[in-house]
Amino acid sequence: MPSGLAVDTGAFVTTFDEGFIESLHIPSEPTRLVARFPNRVEKKIRVAKIDDLEIGRFKVCAKKFGVAALPYFVLWQGDTKISGILGLDTLYNNQAIIDLDGMNLLLR
Over 60: is that where the pLDDT of 14 sits?
A: yes
pLDDT on residue 82? 93
pLDDT on residue 1? 52
Query: How many helices and strands in the chain, by DSSP H and E?
Result: 3, 11
Q: Which domains does the chain have, with CATH numbers?
A: 3-106 (2.40.70.10)
On whether the CB atoms of residues 82 and 17 are closer than 8 A, the answer is: yes
pLDDT tens digit string along 26-75?
999 999 999 888 888 899 999 999 998 888 888 888 899 999 999 888 88
What is the spatial distance between Cα 94 and Cα 108, in angstroms, rounded to a whole number?
A: 5
What is the spatial distance between Cα 28 and Cα 96, in angstroms, rounded to a whole number?
A: 27
* Of 92 and 62, more confident: 92
pLDDT on residue 20? 94
> What global pTM score does this model have?
0.88
**E-state strands within 24-86:** 29-37, 41-50, 53-55, 58-60, 63-68, 76-77, 80-86
